Amino acid sequence: MKTILIYSGGMDSTTLLYKLRAEGDLLHALSFDYGQRHKKELKAAAKICKKLNVPHKIVDITAVKNLMEGSALTSGRIKVPEGHYQDKTMRATVVPNRNMIFIALAIAQAVSMKFDRVAIAVHAGDHAIYPDCRPAFIKAMHTASKIANYEKIAISAPFLNITKRDIAKIGHQLGVPYELTWTCYKGLHKPCGKCGACVERQEALC
Amino acid sequence: MKTILIYSGGMDSTTLLYKLRAEGDLLHALSFDYGQRHKKELKAAAKICKKLNVPHKIVDITAVKNLMEGSALTSGRIKVPEGHYQDKTMRATVVPNRNMIFIALAIAQAVSMKFDRVAIAVHAGDHAIYPDCRPAFIKAMHTASKIANYEKIAISAPFLNITKRDIAKIGHQLGVPYELTWTCYKGLHKPCGKCGACVERQEALC
C-alpha cells in the first residue's frame, strides 16, 4: 500500500509509522504546523523520519490558525489543563475540527500523489474527550473520502479500538525509540509530566 | 441562523449570499485563496460583501497548494478545457479534495465563532464532473460534521438539486448584481467565454 501518514511526532503516530513501515507500506509522512503550543513535536517528527529515511513534509497551516481558535493548544490565553483524558477539564485541549482538516488535506495529498490511503493514529483512549477521534467520525470520513474524488482514498486507523498501553506494547516489539518522540502539550524544554498528554504517556510506557 | 458561507465570488455562491441574507441569516463569508488561476474571483467576493456589509474573510491556503496539485485551475502547465461541465475533458478542472478542505475549514470557523451551520452553493449542474459537489458527498460531510465536534454544525446546500438556470431565476428575483460576480476559470482581463464556467454561466443567464 501507498500511505500518507498524519504524523505528529508523538508516541502514537510514531508507533504507527514503525508498524506501517514493518508491513512494507510505501510511506509519506505529513505533519501540520497549526500554531500549536507544542511545536517541538514537529522537530521530533522530522528527526524520526530522517532516521528511517521516510519522506516527510511539515505543512504550514498557521494561516488558518484563527479559524481554529478556542483551544488551550493554540491560544496563549487558555491554560493547559492537568490530569487524565477522561477529565472534563481536558475539553480545553480540543481544537475546533482539527482531525477533519488534517484528514481533508492528507486526502488531497494522496490524490495528487496517487497514493491509496491516509492513516491516522487515533486510539481508544482519545474517545472520551476528542469527538474527532471516535470510531463514528473515522467511519464517516472514510465514507466521505470514498466519494469525494475520482480516486477512492481509504482512511485507515489501525489503533482505533486499542489503548495507549497496547500501542506501547506494539512499539516496544518494533523497537520504537520513544525517547525521540514528543508528547507534552506545554512544549517547554522538558515534558511537564502533568498535562493529559504526559500523564497518559507515562501510564502507557511504565 | 448563524451561517458561515463558503463564498467564491461567482454567480452561484453570490446568489446564495443574497438568498440567505434575505432569509435573515447572520452571515460570515469565507473565500479561499488556494492559488487558483482565477484569483480575480476573490476581488469580486470582497466587493460584493462590502456592498452588502457582510463580514468577509479571504483565507490564504496557498501554503497547501502543492497538496492539491494536478488541476488546470491550480497548475500553469495544464490547459483550461473548453466546453460544458458534462464533457469528460472538464475533469482537468477538478481540484483534489477541494470541497472537503473548504468545508472542514469552514466548520472550524463555525465552531470557534459559535455559528450554527456552513452553507455551500453546489448545484445539480456540478454533479456530472465534480464528485465533491454530489448529494452523497454533502450528506456524508453533514454526518461527519455532526459528530466531529461538541458543537453540531450542519452543512447546508440549498441549491444541491436545482440547476444553474434555476439559480439565475432566484438571483434575478433577489436583484443579484451578476455583473459584479466573476466566474471564468482563466482569470484574464475579461471572461474567455469558452471555458466550462463561462459556457454554463452564459446559458444560465441568457
Per-residue pLDDT of chain B (206 residues; tens, 9 = 90+): 999 999 999 999 999 999 999 999 999 999 999 988 888 899 999 999 999 999 999 999 999 988 988 888 887 788 888 888 778 888 888 899 999 999 999 999 999 999 999 999 999 988 889 999 999 999 999 999 999 999 999 999 999 999 999 999 999 999 999 999 988 888 888 899 888 889 889 889 98
- Put simply, the answer to whether A108 touches B132 (Cβ < 8 Å) is no
State the pLDDT at residue A176.
Answer: 97
- Distance CA(B156)–CA(B30), nearest Å, equals 15
Q: What is the mean pLDDT of residues A45-50?
A: 97
Q: What is the CATH number of the domain that holds A60?
A: 3.40.50.620
ipTM above 0.90, yes or no: yes
- Distance CA(B100)–CA(B118), nearest Å, equals 12
Task: Calculate the CA dihedral of residues B186, B191, B194, B196 and round it to 10 degrees.
Answer: 60
Within 133-152 of B, beta carbons closer than 8 Å to A belong to 134, 136-137, 140-141, 143-145, 147-150
Structural domain span for residue A78: 2-205
Per the structure, the count of domains in chain B is 1
B111 vs A97, A134, A144: nearest CB: A97
- The pLDDT tens digits of the residues spanning A110-135 come to 999 999 999 999 999 888 899 999 99
Cα angle for residues B4, B170, B202 (degrees, 5° grid): 100
The secondary structure of B27-78 as a DSSP string is EEEEEEES--TTTHHHHHHHHHHHHHT--EEEEE-GGGGGGG-S-TTT-TTS
Decide if A128 touches B, using CB distance below 8 A.
no
Of the candidates A29, A53, A44, the one whose C-alpha atom is nearest the C-alpha of residue A183 is A44
- Distance CA(A136)–CA(A123), nearest Å, equals 13
Decide if B60 touches A, using CB distance below 8 A.
yes
Does the pLDDT at position A107 exceed 80? yes
State the pLDDT at residue B196.
Answer: 85
